[in-house]
Amino acid sequence: MRFLRALKATLGFSIVFLAGAHAATTAIDESHLVALPGNTRPEALDLANDRGRVPDTFALPHMIMLLKRTPAHEAAFERAIDQLTDQSSPNYHHWLSASEIGTRFGPSADEVRTVSAWLNAHGFSINTVYPSRVAIDFSGTAGDVRAAFHTEIHKLNVHGQPHIANLSDPRIPAALSPLIEGVVSLHDFHGHQAAHGGPGWTETNCGLGTSDLIPNCYFVTPPDLATIYDLNPLFNKQTTGTGQTIAVVEDSDIYSTDDWTMFRSLFGLSGYTGGSISQMHPGNCTDPGTNGDDFEAILDAEYASAAAPDAAIQVVSCADSKTTWGLTIAVENLVNETSPPPLINVSYIWCEADAGAANDKAYYDAWQQAAAEGVSVFVSSGDEGAAACDYGKTRAANGIAVNGLASTAYNVAVGGTDFGDTYRKENSKYWNSNNSAQYGSALSYVPEIPWNSSCGSELMAKYVTGSKTTYGTNGFCNVAGGSHFITTYAGSGGPSSCAKGSGDTCKGYKKPQWQSVFGNPGDGVRDIPDVSLFSAGPVWGHAYIVCYSDPAHDFNEPCKNFPNGWIYGYGTSFAAPIMTGMQALVDQSAAASQGNPNPTLYSLANSEFGTKGDAACNANRGNKVGKKCVFRDVTTGDMDVPCTSGSADCYLPSGTNGVLSNSSTKYKPAFKAGSGWDFATGLGSIDAANLVAAWPK
């Protein structure tokens, strides 16, 4: 205690940096500061939003300090992770614990103590030093933040909503910069669920809006899912997720687990008696209760269970602190458990640039740690086409961007498709006019196109107007027929570009070696998505069905009298937990957790695509697609969305609405589907039975 009091008084002590067998001693000079760039929200830079500084006594609990590994330790950690999925390595599947990761590759115990002591000296309290040694949970006040990080916390009013945020990038003593990555975070902005819903399963609530265009609606239920994605052969062999645990990480509790039970009962899943559901709040976090995100929580649980009906579903959630998103707290606590769950699903969106450098790095570190622990992580790619920074907007305004929670090399990014039967006028070829006892009507695999509900879709333009032109005065986005489709709802994908704000010049995460596959561009950066599954809203007559009974968000009396009143849902929020469920079937078949699935997925894709793609696996073949294809290669359509005049990456030769493009002077839509890998759907969609059969044992 005498040491800490003296430390707080002088702030002139020495710290020791350990790098292998070498050590260097550097004194902390509080007058010699460096900024941590890329950590100021754009809303905080707009003076019109500023409502003044919060009091110095304003409590800021559960901030997270990110620490750095040395370059040598980071390189060694990456090599170790590569070996974990390399069957020729003696370390294959020799997963590491969080403590082992911290001891072997993290900052030294002395370095962690140094940072902790510096925080204590500035009045902060340490709640948790995570065993990975790259994160410290700490609490303090706005006054402590101002003194330690040389930035003020202000109240903001953004479009009528109250917020708090730091007004400038944090600054720390230069002597600590080799140890400190950043603070997660100093504001209360956070990401969003990748889910959307509508009022009830009735034919009047789906389609393009006119009955002559979409005469029938064929909603997707678990029996349909099992038919379309070839789950039934696995279920028939008792490959149902037995013994597997899927953690769906949420920002809310589930309103009622009875919804999950009713969903399973109605759709023929209750016979799988191994399935279960529970809710947990890991580590030092508090229960968030239920909020608007409980729709996300229940659909994740229901559709993970639809793909792996005998798996244990854990709904994992934490309350937001005043400056840290509850989802971030939950993820950090989950991957640092002694025995983390082998399968994690996250169906949330936070574009790389908006999240900021420290938030992006927090998820990078967490998914990297998960991969080393043998945990497979699946994240929704997003629901805004290539405009991930324009969540909830009708037009793209911020250019091409991707979901920062999904763009690391250590997670599978799951994109979205739609079904192409309506476009082809082939509904009756793929759907029975009557439902089964469990409300299934799909007859076979249904041809897929990229999910795109916007006027930027060439297929939509062609279907409605007879011309595929989407841009210009007479293009679909600028004529009366396209007015219903001014939206950014589309499956997301694109190249990583990382955080661009506050002077940060990050160029995105580097391309992992395993992502070299036919169709993937030589752009040098991580590209998403990796795979895609059906995610669309009912614009083409299809959507998912959800049991959701929260009266605070009651669209019509859901879950009471099926099918009237049950909610339809859409978004890559559905694709991600379904893909997580498919991985549970792989893990059960292999009798082992698999860590990062991407190296294996891309290896299988290289075998299937070769150097020019496999025509037999083209999704356009529908029920005649190759019987041995692991991937259904989506080659027709696009995920392009409308954009506003003067915005980045917008092609607007004339008219009011442009379309998102790789060029502002010519039409280079962002992005089209094509043979092999593409930004619209990644490797395509999955045949689950073939995936399990092809997976290395």
| Average pLDDT in the chain | 91
Structure confidence at residue 213 (pLDDT): 54
Closest CA to 682 of 494, 540, 509, 498: 494
Q: Report which of residues 8 and 64 the model is more confident about.
A: 64
Q: What are φ and ψ of residue 312, in 5° steps?
A: -85, 125
* In contact, 347 and 315? CB cutoff 8 Å: no
Kindly report, residue by residue over 641-650, the tens digit of the pLDDT.
999 998 999 9
Instruction: Give dist(CA 270, CA 130) in Å, integer.
Output: 39
* In contact, 209 and 484? CB cutoff 8 Å: yes
Dig out the tokens for 102 from the structure.
Answer: 């911290």
3-state SS class at 395: coil
Average pLDDT over residues 132-156: 98
Whether residue 61 is predicted with pLDDT greater than 80 in this model: the reply is yes
For tokens 């916007």, what's the residue?
Answer: 454
Structure confidence at residue 298 (pLDDT): 96
Structure confidence at residue 635 (pLDDT): 98
Kindly report, residue by residue over 534-548, the tens digit of the pLDDT.
999 888 999 999 999
Residue type, 124: F
Is the backbone peptide bond immediately before 563 cis, with ω within 30 degrees of 0?
yes
* Number of C-beta neighbours around residue 590 at 10 A: 14
Residue 560 pLDDT class (50, 70, 90 cuts): confident
- DSSP 8-state symbol, 122: T
Task: Go through the chain and tell me how many residues it has.
Answer: 697
Instruction: Give dist(CA 423, CA 441) in Å, integer.
Output: 19
Q: What percent of the chain has pLDDT over 90?
A: 84
Query: Which residues, in sequence order, are CB contacts of 257 under 8 Å at separation 6+?
Result: 277, 279
Structure confidence at residue 428 (pLDDT): 93
Instruction: Give dist(CA 338, CA 131) in Å, integer.
Output: 9
Kindly report, residue by residue over 291-303, the tens digit of the pLDDT.
889 999 999 999 9
Residue 207 pLDDT class (50, 70, 90 cuts): low
Structure confidence at residue 557 (pLDDT): 59
* Number of C-beta neighbours around residue 178 at 10 A: 16
Of 252-256, 291-295, 684-688, the range with the lowest mean pLDDT is 291-295
Q: Which residues pair with 415 in a beta bridge?
A: 532
Closest CA to 447 of 415, 469, 425, 467: 425
Structure confidence at residue 209 (pLDDT): 45
Q: How far is CA 542 from CA 185, 319, 556, 570, in A?
A: 39, 34, 19, 9
Instruction: Give dist(CA 131, CA 322) in Å, integer.
Output: 24
Structure confidence at residue 18 (pLDDT): 41
Closest CA to 375 of 498, 245, 499: 245
Whether residue 100 is predicted with pLDDT greater than 70 in this model: the reply is yes
Q: What is the DSSP annotation of 657-695?
A: -EEEBS-SSS--BTTB--SSSBTTTBT-EE-HHHHHHHS
Average pLDDT over residues 243-269: 95
Instruction: Give dist(CA 692, CA 697) in Å, integer.
Output: 9
Instruction: Give dist(CA 573, CA 348) in Å, integer.
Output: 7
Structure confidence at residue 215 (pLDDT): 58
Structure confidence at residue 7 (pLDDT): 39
Beta strands in 6-160 (DSSP E): 14-19, 22-27, 33-35, 50-53, 59-67, 125-129, 135-141, 153-158
Whether residue 554 is predicted with pLDDT greater than 70 in this model: the reply is no
Structure confidence at residue 16 (pLDDT): 47
Kindly report, residue by residue over 353-387, the tens digit of the pLDDT.
899 899 999 999 999 999 999 999 999 999 999 99
Kindly report, residue by residue over 13-35, the tens digit of the pLDDT.
445 444 433 334 457 889 999 99
C-alpha 85, offset from chain centre: 22
Average pLDDT over residues 80-94: 95
C-alpha 431, offset from chain centre: 31
Q: Which residues pair with 651 in a beta bridge?
A: 659
Closest CA to 108 of 21, 3, 13: 21
Residue 203 pLDDT class (50, 70, 90 cuts): very low
Kindly report, residue by residue over 106-119, the tens digit of the pLDDT.
999 999 999 999 99
Q: What percent of the chain has pLDDT over 70?
A: 91
Whether residue 571 is predicted with pLDDT greater than 60 in this model: the reply is yes
3-state SS class at 365: helix
Q: What are φ and ψ of residue 75, in 5° steps?
A: -65, -40
Instruction: Give dist(CA 390, CA 538) in Å, integer.
Output: 21
Q: Which contiguous run of DSSP H or E holds residue 353?
A: helix 352-355
State the angle between helix axes of 71-84 and 98-105 in degrees (0 to 180), rounded to the nearest 10: 140
Average pLDDT over residues 121-149: 97
Count helices and strands in the chain by DSSP H and E runs? 17, 31
State the angle between helix axes of 357-372 and 98-105 in degrees (0 to 180), rounded to the nearest 10: 110
* In contact, 174 and 15? CB cutoff 8 Å: no
3-state SS class at 317: strand
Instruction: Give dist(CA 675, CA 618) in Å, integer.
Output: 8
Dig out the tokens for 110 from the structure.
Answer: 């002395």
Q: How far is CA 115 from CA 9, 119, 131, 551, 696, in A?
A: 17, 6, 15, 47, 44
Instruction: Give dist(CA 305, CA 302) in Å, integer.
Output: 5
Kindly report, residue by residue over 454-513, the tens digit of the pLDDT.
999 999 999 999 999 999 999 999 999 898 899 999 999 999 986 433 334 457 899 999
Closest CA to 679 of 632, 638, 636: 638
Residue 11 pLDDT class (50, 70, 90 cuts): very low
- DSSP 8-state symbol, 452: B
3-state SS class at 44: helix
